Amino acid sequence: MFLATYATAQFPLQQAAEEARQGHYREARKLLQGVPEPGDLNQQIAFHRLKAAIATGLNEPAAALHEIKTALALAPGNPNLVLAVAVAELRAGKTEDALSHAQTAPESATREALLGDIQEKRGNVPQAIAAYEAAVRLAPDQERYALALGLELTEHQDFAKAVESLQSSAVRFPKSAKIQALLGIAQYAQGYPEDAIGSLERAIAADPKFPGAYGVLAKIVLQSSAAPPPRVVQDLCSWNRVVCGAVQLRIARQRGDSALQARSLAELKLAGPRDPIGRCELARAYEWTGELQQARREMEACVELDPSPQNHYRLGLLYRKLGLTDSAQKEMAQRNATLQRMSEQTALGLQALQALGGLSTEP
């Protein structure tokens, strides 16, 4: 909104605003060098908001906070500026100041979502959830608030409530790949893998270019040694050749197809040395073909790259087959230590959240 204020401003300011719109923050700052503060009050406010946006884009939270506070000093009663200051304070690590400012703003979905962010940063999860719920009530047509609530519930492992909330949100936003993908994570973590796969398939159908959904779907499918449904195979094979090789390996084993097995193994061998899926699935392939020493080498690399409870368990079973009892017990102990903190599904669900790199609650 504030960038539009420059529509009638001097040319350097217009150009700087346009560069900032496009994410060219260094270029925008360079254009502002030597430009005096405008005389008009509204343009003064917009000038400092622009400088704050540039500082934020350059990851300079202290500078951004200074500029937005300067803007607020020019219009102390402006609720948008009050919230902007609270956002800047949160980014600068001043959570208590952010809370104080946000609480003085009039009630709105934006304010409630910000309060949720602040309470999350303060470690007050119940208050954060309540704030996100309020944001959803105030703006039920805004996807980002529904997503923020679902994400908060999922991250803090209240999966039953997360599923309930996200299912309701999926009805309101049937074309939202992010909500469907997050619903799939919560469903899997709650112990419903088939429902999770269905939600992730709907996420891919809603947005075939959303990479996070593919990554989560792959994580879930590859937990099983069984071949997934044909539609899932098609989606995963269109996304990643290494994952496709792993899926095709399951089909080959199920069919007893040695030619397909050889082709699948060749695909897995093309994975880079730091690719956890490639290493973990190569270990599985070698184990299935009885090449246990090769399986051990790959599985040890797999655990180093992805020390999940299941991978410790798989390595422990492999050590047992090789007669390495002490090593097997160590891996099982590692697995059990992790599972004392969370279930297998919870562990995968939280890993899957990280895989959703494109998941953002920003508008």
Q: Write the pLDDT tens digit of every residue in 220-255.
A: 899 888 889 999 999 999 999 999 999 999 999 999
- Residue that finishes a domain, picked among 174, 206, 224: 174
In this predicted model, what pLDDT tens digit does every residue of 20-71 receive, in sequence order? 999 999 999 999 988 888 888 999 999 999 999 999 999 999 999 999 999 9
Residue 192 domain flag = no
Residue 198 domain flag = no
CATH number of 40's domain = 1.25.40.10
- Separation between Cα atoms, residue 308 and residue 310, nearest integer Å: 5
In this predicted model, what pLDDT tens digit does every residue of 82-139 receive, in sequence order? 999 999 999 999 999 999 999 999 999 999 999 999 999 999 999 999 999 999 999 9
Residue 167 domain flag = yes
Residue 322 domain flag = no
Residue 51 domain flag = yes
In this predicted model, what pLDDT tens digit does every residue of 167-224 receive, in sequence order? 999 999 999 999 999 999 999 888 898 999 999 999 999 999 988 899 889 988 998 8
Question: What domain range includes position 3?
Answer: 1-106
How far from chain centre, in Å, is Cα 257? 38
Provide the number of structural domains found in the chain: 2
Which run of H or E residues covers position 65? helix 61-74
pTM score of the predicted model: 0.83
Q: How far apart are the first and last CA of the chain?
A: 13
Inter-residue contact 245 to 281 (CB < 8 Å): yes
pLDDT at residue 343 greater than cutoff 70:
no
Are 81 and 33 contained in the same domain? yes
Residue 170 domain flag = yes
Are 83 and 47 contained in the same domain? yes
Distances (CA, A) of 43 to 16, 48, 77: 14, 9, 17
Residue 199 domain flag = no
Are 11 and 24 contained in the same domain? yes
Residue 219 domain flag = no
Kindly state the greatest CA–CA separation across the chain. 81
Q: What is the sign of the dihedral through the CA atoms of 261, 301, 344 and 337?
A: positive
- Residue that finishes a domain, picked among 72, 88, 106: 106
